[in-house]
Amino acid sequence: MSDLGDAFQGVWNLRICSEFGAEVRGGGGGFSEVDATSHRPNAPHRPVPSHPQRIISLVPSQTELLYDLGLGERVVGITKFCVHPETWFNSKHRVGGTKKVDMEKVRALKPDLIIGNKEENERKDIQALEQEFPVWMSDVRSLHHAAHMILHVGAITGTDKKAEKIVRGIEQAFGELKPLEEPRTVAYLIWREPYMVAGHATFVNDMLLRLGLISVFDEGDARYPEITAKELEDASPEVDPALLRALPLSCRSILKSSRISAPMRAWNLVDGEFFSWYGSRLLKAPAYFAGLSLG
């Protein structure tokens, strides 16, 4: 069995208690609670209900997962960035953004569970929400973590079988993904003003490695380091090619800077959702990766 297969095999045997902060044990793959979830030891103890009926999702990729788990009317609120599925984006109550949650809108929806993510959401918002509601947080930095998170959400919401089906589909799809025969060095830019790149221990970096792409900025402890235009230019001889995530659209402005783009051998505008969304969208990611033409 492949390393990825071993990891997925380990999460089938999860034993989950529904209480907030309860342990989660993996099987042979060696998963632990910290692999996919982030619990704050000093947070108020508000038990997570075993079958929540009024869920608010603060994370776009996890919102899409909840939809694919068939939770329907049990999800009462999402953020303005939860664009998938479109039907939910057009019909569900919005409680602000991922970085700025509207507490009054949350209170009006009377949630019995709020689902967030350590990286996506602001600590101060989560701290405020924890004072009033059960909050479950994920911390996903790899495909292994994503599988664990999906199964955990399935267990919490009583959709275990659907979650297992999704994870098995992801395992199969990534098992068929062929990395480049010759690894290539890339820079994956996610923002401008300031320039920011995906670095060490990020989900994006894990996706790049599975494609046979090595980030030139995968050094040090910074996960999303800010870089200067000169640093990008200095790295250009090592970069082949540079990747820009398609969203936000402000990244397109990087292409307009000939001072930066000229030294690069190639620029590729990629769909950032397939590199950074760690829910059920992973079912479609390998097909997208296989179709990429990296000039």
pLDDT at 176 (0 to 100): 96
Q: Percentage helix, strand, coil, to 5, in the chain?
A: 40, 15, 40
Question: Average pLDDT for residues 36-53, to the nearest whole number?
Answer: 73
Q: Are 203 and 224 in contact (CB under 8 A)?
A: no
How far is 240 from 230, CA to CA, in rounded Å? Answer: 17
**Strand-strand pairing, 135-138 and 75-78:** unpaired
Over residues 223-274, the pLDDT tens digits come to 888 888 788 777 766 666 566 654 443 444 555 554 455 445 567 778 999 9
Confidence at residue 237, expressed as pLDDT on a 0 to 100 scale: 61
Distance CA 161, CA 159 (A): 6
Closest CA to 207 of 146, 138, 121: 146
Angle CA 29–30–33, to nearest 5: 125
**Which of 36-45, 141-150, 245-254 holds the top average pLDDT?**
141-150
Q: Count Cβ atoms below 10 Å from residue 85 Cβ, excluding itself.
A: 15
Average pLDDT over residues 186-192: 82
Q: What is the pLDDT of residue 113?
A: 98
Average pLDDT, the chain: 81
pLDDT at 11: 41
Q: pLDDT at position 76, please?
A: 98
pLDDT confidence of residue 257? 52
DSSP E strand boundaries for the chain:
15-16, 24-25, 55-57, 75-78, 93-94, 113-117, 135-138, 184-191, 195-197, 213-215, 226-227, 242-245, 267-270
As a whole number of angstroms, the distance between CA 15 and CA 18 comes to 10
Closest CA to 186 of 266, 285, 259: 266
Computed over its alpha carbons, how large is the radius of gyration of the chain?
19
**39 or 52, greater pLDDT:** 52
Domains in the chain and their CATH numbers?
A: 3-174 (3.40.50.1980), 184-290 (3.40.50.1980)
Q: Categorize the per-residue pLDDT at 33 as very low, low, confident or very high, splitting at 50, 70 and 90.
A: very low
Whether the upstream peptide bond of residue 41 has omega within 30° of 0, thus cis, is no
**Are 120 and 98 within 8 A, CB to CB?**
yes
For residue range 105-144, what is the model confidence (pLDDT) as tens digits? 999 999 999 999 999 999 999 999 999 999 999 999 999 9
Q: Which residue has the higher pLDDT, 206 or 7?
A: 206
Q: What is the pLDDT of residue 195?
A: 82
Pick from 202, 207, 214: which is nearest to 288 by CA? 207
Total number of residues shown for the chain? 295
| CA-closest candidate to residue 294, choices 269, 274, 259, 275 | 269
pTM of the model: 0.83
Residue 204 predicted with pLDDT over 60? yes
* Interatomic CA distance for residues 130 and 133, integer angstroms: 5
Q: Give dist(CA 126, CA 123) in Å, integer.
A: 5
Work out the pLDDT band at 44, boundaries 50, 70, 90: low
